[in-house]
Structure 1
Amino acid sequence: MATRADYLKLHFIVFLWGFSAILGKLVSIPTMEMVFFRALLACLGIGLVIILTKGTFQVTSRNFIYLILIGFIVALHWVCFFGSGRVANVSVSLVGFATNSLWTAILEPWMNRTRIKKFELVLGFIVLSGLYIIFSFDFQYKLGLTLGILAGLTSAVFSIFNSKMVRTIPSFTITFYEMMGCFVGLGIFLPIYKFIWAPEESMLYWPTLLDWIWIATLAGVCSVYAYSTAVELMKKISVFLIQLTLNLEPVYGIIMALIIFGSSEKMGTNFYVGTGIIMTAVLVYPYLRKRFDQRAALKQSAS
């Protein structure tokens, strides 16, 4: 059963993820290299945490492969998310990413073979309408928005998978192998990317000292802590509520981006209207979920 502290913790990690978009913008090396080094540091960091807390690295061969493959999805998510911020801006990246609640409402019932809850689907579309209003003032960043939406889709996919894995595997162990999978996946893809899509960037870009500081912060705070905490919260909070709360990430991130980057992130009236719609959906969800669970319990007891 989730407590108030659990919900506060959820909002805190959402704030951290909103800030990660800003950190990604501050790193000077290309997105692929940034994600590659972030995954490496995150894997080493979470491995150290497991050793210090006397956790376990032990998983079955099947689960090992499964977690590595989920790590590939995480890699795609990060590349899309940070790539969106690079080709557009932080605001566009975060707005596209917030479609994850809609993707979750569609994918979770299908992947878990459960009934679609109509109110979750409705709330997902309400969130989508809020995002449309936010973005309707400017459509010049089509590629950036597309990458942001792909980031939302991949976020929904690996969150649904993780909600299953966390039932039998410790959250730190899950995070360790997924960060390893992210690192390995990018290690395989990076040479292919540079050879086919970016031959002018054939060399591997190494981070500067300041880049290492930003990447280490991304790895330690936004990956090791926030990612593991999110996986742990999946034991108590539904995937859809986590994904719906993640829609506050654009709110936190865009406000911070506006403060840090100034006029390049300035929002109009559309932003505040859309933000209000998103926040309303987030606040209404717990009430609707409680009503739905009560009705389901009554039907079950009556039968």
Structure 2
Amino acid sequence: MLKSHSLNRNLLVLHATVMIWGFTGILGNLISISATHLVWYRVLIAFITLLIYFRATKTPFTVTKNAFFKLIFTGAIVGAHWIFFFQSIKSSNVSVALVCLSSVTLFTAILEPIFSKKKISKLEIFTGLMIITGITLIFKFETRYAVGISFGLLCAFCASLFSIINSKQVQNRPAPVISFYEMAGAWVWISLYLALTGGFNSSMKLPLSDIIYLLILGTICTSLAYVAGVSVMKELSAFRVALITNLEPVYGIILAFIFFGKREHMTAGFYAGSLIILSSIFLYPYIRTKIEKRRMSKQMLPG
């Protein structure tokens, strides 16, 4: 009974976390400053919040010099990912950005075998082709959002890249520690970029509404959601976590309709392409699990 209650609680926490991640697109649309300045403030607030969390819970967060530099450099990819994401929103809308972000599965299917020197599976090739079909359909019917779609795909590429890197890092250290150093790294690299391009200027001044939105984005949508998302992994299977995480664009698009209404209405081609992409993403882990179970059953059969 207690185990069932704990499972339900963790499922509720995970769904709430994924919905919060979906809400980041809403905030990105509401915040008036540029995507680069937005991410600079976001990562600054996020890593300061995580530092306070570590101090308050007396959680050790030191890492080796080698790990420190790896995480700081990975932070550059994380920062680029978020800049491309918010630039995609500002160049199109929340729905376009979130659907394009879903193509992270496609890039992971291509990049992971290269990094891990593994053979690409037939299922991954098929899933990739389905996602490419969906993206092509969206490009065909939403030419006015070509720039936003391009930024969304770049965002997904970066997300795939740092996810593959982090899948190795998480074997040796807690996810919140990885997040802390990567966000600190993102802030350092973006600060360097702004310093070299004269980005530290009057356009960084924040109206009160932006300050409120950024505080929500940096604390609740980044630090708190990240810690909550990691905590549920102790009891939920990786398959279930992956499946529920795929709901982020669905939650985000629903929230975008609630907040922005007609501004989020798209062509039938967009929804057809989105349906192909999201169906592929949802079916991929389900079919993969079925194949793995069938393979294991065959191996267990007497020779």
What whole-Å deviation, never above 9, does each CA across 1:194-222 have from its counterpart, x for those lacking one?
47xxxxx8545122222111111111122
**Aligned residue in 2 for 1:198:** none
Match of 1:274 in 2: 273
Question: Using the alignment, how far apart are the partners of 2:97 and 2:299 within structure 1?
Answer: 43
Matched, 1:112 2:116: yes
Q: 1:274 to 1:157 in 2, by over 3 A?
A: same
The CA distance in 1 between the partners of 2:179 and 2:193, in whole Å, is 21
Cross-structure match for 1:70: 74
Alpha-carbon distance in 1 for matches of 2:115, 2:274: 30
**Residues 82/207 of structure 1: CA separation in 2 closer, same or farther (3 Å cut):** same
The percent identity for this pair of structures is 38
**Is the CA contact (8 Å cut-off) linking 2:33 and 2:203 kept in structure 1?**
no
- The 5 A counterparts of 1:253-268 are 253-268=252-267
How far apart in 1 are the matches of 2:25 and 2:52?
A: 25
User: Which residue of 1 is the match for residue 220 of structure 2?
Assistant: 221
Unaligned runs of 5+ in 1: 196-200
Q: Which shows bigger deviation, 285-294 or 72-81?
A: 285-294
- Correspondence for 1:162: 166
Shift of 1:37: 0.9
Quote the Cα distance in structure 1 between the aligned partners of 2:81 and 2:233. 19
- What's 1:21 paired with? 25
Task: State the one-letter code of the partner of 1:26.
Answer: L
Matched, 1:101 2:100: no
Paired residues of 2:139 and 2:149 also in contact (CA < 8 A): no
Select between 218-227 and 99-108 the one with higher mean Cα deviation. 218-227
One-letter identity of the residue aligned with 1:287: Y
Between 123-132 and 66-75, report the one with greater CA deviation: 123-132
User: In the aligned structure 2, how far is the partner of 1:10 from the partner of 1:292?
Assistant: 26
**1:191 alignment partner in structure 2:** 195
In structure 2, do the counterparts of structure 1 residues 4 and 120 end up closer, same or farther at CA, with 3 Å as the change threshold?
Answer: farther
Counterpart of 2:120, as a letter, is I
Report the Cα distance in structure 2 between the residues aligned to 1:78 and 1:270, rounded to whole angstroms. Answer: 27
Task: Normalising by structure 1, report the TM-score.
Answer: 0.85
Deviates most, 120-129 or 32-41:
120-129
1:140 partner SS: helix
Quote the offset at 1:6 in angstroms. Answer: 6.2
Q: AA paired with 1:151?
A: C
Q: How many Å separate the matches in 1 of 2:8 and 2:287? A: 18
Q: d(CA) in 2 for partners of 1:231 and 1:111?
A: 24
Kindly state the Cα deviation for residue 33 of structure 1 after the two structures are TM-superposed.
1.3
Query: Cα offset for 1:297?
Result: 3.3
**What RMSD over aligned residues (CA atoms) do the two structures have, in Å?**
2.8
**1:183: how far off?**
0.8
TM-score normalised by length of structure 2: 0.85
**Aligned-pair CA distance for 1:223:** 1.1
**Paired residues for 1:224-303 under 5 Å:** 224-230=223-229, 237=238, 242=242, 248-297=247-296
Going from structure 1 to structure 2, the CA distance change for 1:10 and 1:164 (only over 3 Å counts) comes to farther
- 2:40·2:191 contact (CA, 8 Å) conserved in 1? yes
The alpha-carbon distance between structure 1 residues 229 and 166, as it changes in their structure 2 partners (threshold 3 A), is farther
Question: 2: distance between equivalents of 1:76 and 1:68?
Answer: 13
Amino acid at match of 2:218: A
Alpha-carbon distance, 1:23 to partner: 0.1
